[in-house]
A and B are shown apart, each in its own frame.
Chain A
Amino acid sequence: MVKITIDGIEIEVAAGTTILDAARQINPETAPPAMCFHSKLEGSGGKCRTCLVKVTKTSPSNPRPMPKLAPSCRTFVEDGMEVENNRSEEVLEARKGVVELLLINHPLDCPICDQAGECDLQNLAFEHGAETTDYQEERRRFPAKAIGDLIQLQMNRCILCFRCVYVADQLTDGRHHGVLGRGDSSEIGTYIEAAIDNDFSGNMIDVCPVGALTDRTFRFKSRVWFSKPMAAHRTCEKCCGNAVLWLKGNEILRVSGRRNDVGEVTEFICNTCRFDTKSLHLWEVEGPARISRDSVISQNHTPS
């Protein structure tokens, strides 16, 4: 076990824990925001730079100075480390800048976006963003590309977190999409238009922090906050069968994976559960699903 201090609060965590994880253990509400890291996806993180923190004191056992802000999702705790998160002006300022940069090319089309209400970027902008931006150039636009009947890709909204690529790499047999191009013309795609459809591809939807990958079978059916999320399970030979059903009356509008209190999907589900099991009698309903702190549902609409 190692001891570290974050914003003056001391905590003991296992060696090999990241600063982000340690901060989440102290309090998920005050932990740094993380747009690209995902605990269940190996290699993820380090890219969006929203989780930057300041290591004000490095471990006496490894006293290399860390003058630059560090990505907390990929920086490991060391005994005696002192970290500043929300207490550091520098961190808050940097975060604000990163959020602004993430937004300059974002279409801000929340009113017509299926992710609205459960969008990490919306929440991020709300909690950590600056009120205004000086950006007045044209926003980047990508031509629409179809990737099959199940998943809707809206590249304009993508923040290039790479999580969906890791899902395809780590959960599905054979990755068919990836990041193409370079710099700010990088895009998620299949190069030649091709449908992405294999047993676990639907998880790309769940890990996408924004509305770039959404459930086509759910599109425009309803705003999320008009549906009731219920935890349910079924016996499935492909996956754990533990899911969240989004109900309107007795109709299943959508099936998704379960999330923990920082909004990360904890167990991945297969496409059969997600797309092909939409009758209530096929599920064992457990009760209202735990909703991540950030969802509008947890704020506006307590499921009864």
Chain B
Amino acid sequence: MSRKILLENGDISGIDQFDIYRQHGGYQSVEKAIKTMTPLEVVDEVKKSGLRGRGGAGFSTGMKWSFLDRKSDKPRYLVCNADESEPGTFKDRYLMEKIPHRLIEGMIVSSYALGASRAYIYIRGELMWLAKRLENAIGEAKAHGLLGDNILGSDYSLDLVVHPGGGAYICGEESALLESLEGKRGYPRLKPPFPAISGLYGCPTVINNVESIAAVPWIVTHGGEEYSKIGIEKSSGTKLISASGHINRPGVYEIELGLPVEEFIYSDAYCGGIRNGRTLKAVVAGGSSVPILPAELILRTAAGIPRLMTYESLSDGGFQTGTMLGSGGFIVMDDTTCIVRNTWNFARFYHHESCGQCSPCREGTGWMEKVLHRIEHGHGTPKDIDLLVDIAKKIEGKTICALGDAAAWPIASAIRHFRHEFEYHIAHPDKITDPDHVYQPMGTK
């Protein structure tokens, strides 16, 4: 079994309560940091750990923290991104539900490191029940002097606030999140300026994913170097993987980065193999935005090397034959899956979630969905496949935020690896009128 950092003690009953969490070493990092370390020393430990952002982009957390404008006389903010709405991803929710205090602890230490006296947890509004639990946990921490004025008797004070969203995937994009937190429509901002210089209310701001922040307590307690020894090279530490789809054991797994993909899919410690004894057809390894890969390319790189669960190994081969670790939303599809239908489904998602601010994404996502809808419903034409590739190119790289890219990649990659399936749909519209064809193996249609 893999080592537990984020989910450490997760199986202890009552760990979601302050007392039990505290009994099992909870909030040690706050004591250590506030009593024995300067804020910059905490930043240094995080740098040494090699921790990379777990929200999707994998940017070094220590680096991000060191970009924060500390010279400005404006207040500094830490904002936790708990918007979790990338399809296939449910790890932040799991972590917050199971061990809410781990996030609170991480928020306190991280805010101390960044010199923030107020920090926000922006949680998607659908998870209102969870927002309440976080508030509950905050209340407990406050009652024990770990939050609020003069934490543990020091002169450091922190006000931690939970803020609910209103239902919009785009608010996971960090600058849209800030707009939303300011009470506006969730429109991504043009960058530069970056949040580290001008973020929430125009003040220097760091935005981190729940899982990134939850890793900080362990790093502070055990040292950045210890953390960097876990995992492989630039993919240090552990990562939560949300496993869903046609597997025997869907759920959230904390893995040491470097675990072979094959083991993750087939071992009973993780996904437990493909459901109903079927065979693996494709995997979307890092949330719906990353390129889909067929079985042979997810298990092994184009060069035949077994793929590992690391940032580097999953992206080996670039977009031609590789993908990305992304947010760790691992969606598994067996041989009964209709790739066209799944691609249309994702296209519909991005169309629905485009904020509409910039024209390529606003117009292009709708166009792609319509074409895919036609193909899936038996009205495709042979030209449609190249048309989709073409529209995707017109969006990718031209937009304000990465949602445009995120909408283009799944479609481009599905066509790259499963073109024959699109062609089949177009050539045999009669065979796909069966509403259940999504559950039938392609060959048996």
The answer to whether any beta carbons of A and B sit under 8 Å apart in the complex is: yes
Q: Looking at the complex, which of B79-87, B108-116, B286-294, B362-370 is the stretch in contact with chain A?
A: B362-370
A residues within 8 A CB of B351? 183-184
Is B354 part of the contact surface with A, judged by Cβ < 8 Å? yes
Contact B393 A183 (CB under 8 A): no
B214 at the interface (CB under 8 A from A): no
- Mark out the residues of chain A between 220 and 261 whose CB falls within 8 Å of any chain B CB in the assembled complex: none
Residues of A with C-beta under 8 A to B107: none
Any A CB within 8 A of the CB of B341 = no
Contacting chain A: which of B25-33, B235-243, B397-405?
B397-405
**A97 and B393: CB pair below 8 A?**
yes
Query: Out of A68, A74, A97, A160, which one reaches B360, CB within 8 Å?
Result: A97
Query: A159 near B: Cβ within 8 Å?
Result: yes
A105 to B360, CA, bound (A): 12
| Measured CA separation A58–B190 after assembly (Å) | 18
Task: Point out the residue from A48, A134, A185 that lies within 8 Å of B359, measured CB to CB.
Answer: A48
The answer on a CB contact under 8 Å between A47 and B359 is yes
Known: A47-B358, A49-B358, A97-B360. A183 touches B367 (CB 8 A): no
Shortest CB distance A78–B (Å): 11
Tell me how far the C-beta of A50 lies from the nearest C-beta in chain B, rounded to whole angstroms: 8
Binary CB contact string for chain B from 378 to 406 against chain A (1 if under 8 A, 0 otherwise) = 00000100010010011101111000000
Residues of A within 8 A of B395 (CB): 101
The chain B residue with its CB closest to the CB of A43 is B190
Is A186 on the interface with B (CB-CB < 8 A)? yes
Shortest Cβ gap from B390 to chain A (Å): 8
Contact among A69, A74, A135, A183 with B398 in the assembled complex (CB-CB below 8 Å) = A69
| A286 interface residue (CB < 8 Å to B) | no
Query: Which residues from 168 to 206 on chain B have a C-beta closer than 8 Å to any C-beta of chain A?
Result: 168, 185, 190
CA distance A102 to B370 in the complex (A): 16
B226 in the interface (beta carbon within 8 A): no
Q: Which of A29-58 contact B (CB under 8 A)?
A: 46-49, 52
Which among B354, B358, B365 has the greatest number of chain A C-beta atoms within 10 A? B358
Is B367 touching A137 in the complex (CB atoms < 8 A)? yes
For B354, B363, B394, which residue has the most chain A Cβ atoms within 10 angstroms?
B363
A47 — which chain B residues lie within 8 A by C-beta? 357-359, 400
Known: A134-B387, A183-B352, A183-B365. A49 touches B394 (CB 8 A): no
A269 CB to closest chain B CB (Å) equals 29
Partner of B371, one of A68, A94, A137, A179: A137
Indicate if the CB atoms of A98 and B394 lie closer than 8 Å. Answer: yes
Q: Does B353 contact A (CB under 8 A)?
A: yes
A49 to B365, CA, bound (A): 15
Known A-B contacts A48-B359, A69-B397, A97-B394; the reply to A74 vs B366 at CB < 8 A is: no
Smallest beta-carbon distance B426→chain A, Å: 15
Mark interface residues in A119-134 (1 if CB within 8 Å of B CB, else 0).
0000000000000001
Across-interface contacts of A68 in B (CB, < 8 A): 397
Contact of B190 with A71 in the complex, beta carbons under 8 Å: yes
Q: Which A residues are in CB contact (< 8 Å) with B356? A: 160, 179, 181-186
Determine whether A104 belongs to the interface, using a CB cutoff of 8 Å to chain B: yes
Asked whether any CB of chain B lies closer than 8 Å to the CB of A114, the reply is: no
Q: How far is the CA of A100 from the CA of B383 in the complex (A)?
A: 18
Q: What's the nearest-Cβ distance from chain A to residue B395, in Å?
A: 8
The complex places the Cα of A94 from the Cα of B394 at a distance, in Å, of 7
Q: Give Cα distance in the complex from A46 to B383, angstroms.
A: 32
Number of A-B contacts (CB under 8 A): 87
User: Measured between alpha carbons, how far is A104 from B73 in the docked complex, in Å?
Assistant: 48
CB distance from B397 to the nearest CB of A (A): 5
Contacting pair A100 B394 (CB below 8 A): yes
Over the window 58-76 of chain B, the binary record of Cβ atoms lying under 8 Å from chain A Cβ atoms (1 yes, 0 no) is 0000000000000000000
The residues of B that contact A160 with a CB separation of less than 8 Å are 356-357, 359, 362
Nearest residue (CB) in A for B374 is A137
- Docked-complex contact A184 and B358, CB < 8 angstroms: no
Which residues of chain B have C-beta atoms less than 8 A from A134's C-beta? 383, 387, 390
Q: Is the CB of A183 within 8 A of B359?
A: no
Q: Does B15 contact A (CB under 8 A)?
A: no
Asked if residues A104 and B398 are in contact (CB atoms below 8 Å), the reply is: no
Q: Cβ of A101 and Cβ of B394 under 8 Å apart? A: yes
Query: Are A186 and B362 in touch, CB under 8 angstroms?
Result: yes
Question: Contact at A52–B362, with CB atoms within 8 Å?
Answer: no
Interface contact B355-A104, CB-CB below 8 Å: no
How close is B363's CB to chain A, nearest CB, in angstroms? 4
Chain B residue nearest to A70 in the complex (CB):
B190
Whether B168 lies near A135 (C-beta < 8 A) is no
Chain A residues with Cβ below 8 Å from B360 are 49, 97-98, 101
Determine whether the beta carbon of A101 is less than 8 Å from that of B363.
yes
Does B353 contact A49, Cβ atoms closer than 8 Å?
no
Q: Which A residues lie within 8 Å of B355 (CB)?
A: 182-183
Contact B190 A46 (CB under 8 A): yes
Q: What's the nearest-Cβ distance from chain B to residue A202, in Å? A: 26
Q: How far is the CB of A169 from chain B (nearest CB, A)?
A: 12
Chain B residue nearest to A138 (CB atoms) is: B370
- Contacts A49-B399, A69-B397, A134-B387 known; A179 to B359 CB distance under 8 Å? no
Complex-state Cα separation, A48 to B394, whole angstroms: 13
Closest-by-CB residue of B relative to A186 is: B356
Whose C-beta in chain A lies nearest to the C-beta of B383? Answer: A134
Quick one: which of A66-110 are within 8 Å of B by CB?
68-69, 71, 74, 94, 97-98, 100-102, 104-105
For the complex with contacts A179-B356, A184-B356, 19 further pairs of A-B residues with Cβ separation under 8 Å are A46-B400, A47-B359, A48-B358, A49-B358, A52-B398, A69-B398, A94-B397, A98-B394, A101-B360, A101-B363, A101-B367, A134-B390, A140-B366, A160-B356, A160-B362, A183-B354, A184-B365, A186-B356, A186-B362
Closest 5 CB pairs of A and B: A97-B394, A186-B356, A101-B363, A183-B354, A183-B356
A-B contacts, 19 of them at CB < 8 A, read A47-B357, A49-B359, A49-B360, A52-B398, A94-B398, A98-B360, A101-B394, A102-B363, A105-B363, A135-B367, A181-B356, A182-B354, A183-B354, A183-B355, A183-B362, A184-B351, A184-B354, A184-B363, A184-B366
